[in-house]
Amino acid sequence: SLEFTKKHWLKQIGRVAFRSPDTRFNNWMTWVNFQPMLRRFYGNSFLPQFDYGRGGRGWRDLWQDRLAQLLSDPESVRPALVHNFGGVRIDGSNATIIGKDGTFIADRNNIPRTWMDHGIWPTHTALMYIDQTGDIDFLLQEREYFRDPQTFRCRRLDRGWTESYGYALRTHKKAVYRGTILEHMLVQNLTAFFNVGEHNVCRMEGADWNDGLDMAEHRGESVAFTAFYAWNLMRLADIVCALACHGHKRFYIAEELGLLLDRLPGGKPVAYTSARAKTQRLGRYIERVAGDVSGRKIGVSVEDLAGDLVDKYCDLAARVRKQEWVRAGASAFFNGYYDDHGARVEGRRGRDLRMTLTGQVFPLMAGIANDEQVDRVVKSVNQYLRDPKFGGLRLNTDFGSIQPALGRAFSFAYGEKENGAVFSHMVIMYAYALYLRRRAAAGREAWHTLYEKAVDSGTSKIFPCLPEYFNGEGRGMYCYLTGSASWLVYLLLTQVYGLRGDLGDLVIDPQLMPADFDAAGRAGVKTDFAGRTLAVTYVNPEALKPEQYIVGRIACRGVPVPFERKRTGGVRVDRAQLKALSVTDVPLEVELVSKQAG
Ligand code: G1P
């Protein structure tokens, strides 16, 4: 039994494996692979010393933890994703906890509120699922909506609601209403688009990814997550176009949602420059869906739907790029927030310079920052957020005092938790954004420093793992309980080692730095894809940098594998080709050659 158990776990943690010249790193990553599994099994309460979590799973963590699972075992994820979409409410808010038995709960402590970032994660994870598996029809599967007494995005209580209504949204005729997964994603992203504050960016509501920014629900705005919503809107436009290529040229969505798809023919377009006009429209929608829905659906063509979404992306992206770009002396970076007085949070404030890492990450990740802005952000981050003593990038600069108009995060001592710690999750998302923007050197420095800090056990005082954060004394805190492990696996596999899906096809697009290769110029990665176990060896004998090399040749046991070059970088290998192989273990040798030669 012991042998069986050992074998089982070694297999689980070895499903995704990295072969860098640093064997300590390779081993450390097997522990990091294990972390998302622990959190999946035990929820946010794995070890007794944790001061929060009762075993439930929080909404955003639930979705992000699936990222790692999607990479090691994509096919097994579908039922869970479909199930979890049932936690979305028709007003765009959602159940925040999913209990052990899979039931949805408005809130663990009965203080329902709406976290404004919650709507972004399902789309992010679902799109990745489709990329890894090619299962695009997943979007058209129907699912119920969550309905409880909370209405108006948790601002009102429907006293008429009773348990006998049940926890599924119904039509006026009291039949359970179902909409496609795509419709659920539209509900979440469209409501966010219209839910703006006075600066015409998305309202903070209860808080965003940073749980500690919880005191700006009236006038607060999160520019950071506005950028993410913009990215989602653009990606949704892309995916509906991809659906059209699969023969689905018309979609059926809840009639009420037509109010938020204001650019459809015959619709009443909202002036996007007016925050008031947007919130009025959202108000009308929320009013309409506050009880039941009509159950009627309207047909929408691909072109019209994609056009509407792109218009919305353009509106948000342009605003973030221009309005939120702040200069402070010779430095420049993005403002990430407005506080409850409606005041801009970041930039120079008297003698202080206020800046958050979160505010920088998402405009970069979403492709909203232009190239010059990316470079200036990297410079400012290094200048203001680097921990001078222990290394690593902090979540924010020292604001110097509590911030009752922003949130309780600032009541932690500076360097602790969400107030300026080196918070692994955000650092990895920053690195991820940098790789997306082809800044591999800066990206590597960001995540590699976390690894160096973690394994320096004299200072970090932890066993092998990626902790939630490193405090002001360089100590690793909250081992195992953290979404950052999932994100690190995701970052390394899909960006650094560059193996990822694209609507089911395999993309090979490494951005490994010379230091990631051994003396013979080789680096390796193992992962499951399309039902095959791929063991990829990259060969870079000339120690070229990512901006200097391209994939020159791919071979499987000496036989060349055909590929197509992608416009955005990297190459694509047809899924059908991998599926057609008679063996399940597929060694691939990928030669990296100089761009000029290629
Ligand atoms: C934790 C929470 C997560 C929250 C984050 C920042 O993150 O689990 O929901 O977004 O703090 O407040 P984690 O430890 O997973 O990195």
pLDDT tens per residue across span 504-530: 999 999 999 999 999 999 999 999 999
| Residue 69, ligand 1, Cβ within 6 A | no
The region of weakest confidence among 16-20, 93-97, 452-456 is: 93-97
| Residue 483, ligand 1, Cβ within 6 A | yes
Q: Which residue has a Cα nearest atom 10 of ligand 1?
A: 209
Q: Are 537 and 589 in contact (CB under 8 A)?
A: yes
Q: What is the mean pLDDT of residues 342-371?
A: 96
Beta strands in 28-72 (DSSP E): 57-58
32, with CB counted inside 10 A (0-12, 13-18, 19+), is buried
Q: Say how many C-beta atoms besides its own lie within 10 A of residue 330's C-beta.
A: 9
Tell me what pLDDT residue 56 has.
Answer: 62
Decide if pLDDT at 240 tops 90.
Answer: yes
Residue 38: both structure tokens together:
């622990």
Q: Which residue has a Cα nearest atom 14 of ligand 1?
A: 482
Looking at mean pLDDT, say which of 12-16, 64-68, 330-334, 478-482 comes out highest. Answer: 330-334
Decide if pLDDT at 417 tops 80.
Answer: yes
Q: What is the mean pLDDT of residues 427-456?
A: 98
Distance (Å, rounded) from C-alpha 60 to C-alpha 84?
A: 11
What is the distance in A from the centroid of ligand 1 to the CA of 483? 7
Decide if pLDDT at 235 tops 90.
Answer: yes
Atom index in ligand 1 nearest the CA of residue 484 equals: 16
Decide if pLDDT at 402 tops 90.
Answer: yes
Q: Are 134 and 504 in contact (CB under 8 A)?
A: yes
Q: Are 394 and 386 in contact (CB under 8 A)?
A: yes
Tell me the pLDDT band of 389, cut-offs 50, 70 and 90.
Answer: very high
Q: Is the dihedral of CA 456, 458, 459, 460 positive or negative?
A: positive
Tell me what pLDDT residue 310 has.
Answer: 98
Q: Which residue has a Cα nearest atom 6 of ligand 1?
A: 210
What is the distance in A from the centroid of ligand 1 to the CA of 519? 38
| Residue 412, ligand 1, Cβ within 6 A | no
Q: Which residue has a Cα nearest atom 1 of ligand 1?
A: 482
Decide if pLDDT at 156 tops 60.
Answer: yes
Tell me what pLDDT residue 598 has.
Answer: 56
Mutation probe of ligand 1 site: the residue of 468, 486, 488, 490 with most atoms within 8 A of C-beta: 468
Tell me what pLDDT residue 66 has.
Answer: 86
Q: Of 215, 195, 225, 175, which Cα lies nearest the Cα of 92?
A: 195
Taking each helix axis as running N to C, give the angle between helix 23-42 and helix 2-13, from 0 to 180 degrees, rounded to the nearest 10: 110
What is the distance in A from the centroid of ligand 1 to the CA of 561? 42
Q: What share of the chain in percent tops pLDDT 70?
A: 96
The region of weakest confidence among 87-101, 306-320, 505-519 is: 87-101
Distance (Å, rounded) from C-alpha 150 to C-alpha 359?
A: 30
Tell me the pLDDT band of 54, cut-offs 50, 70 and 90.
Answer: low
Question: What are the two backbone dihedrals, phi and then psi, of residue 509, each rounded to the nearest 5 degrees?
Answer: -150, 65
User: First CA to last CA across the chain, in angstroms?
Assistant: 53
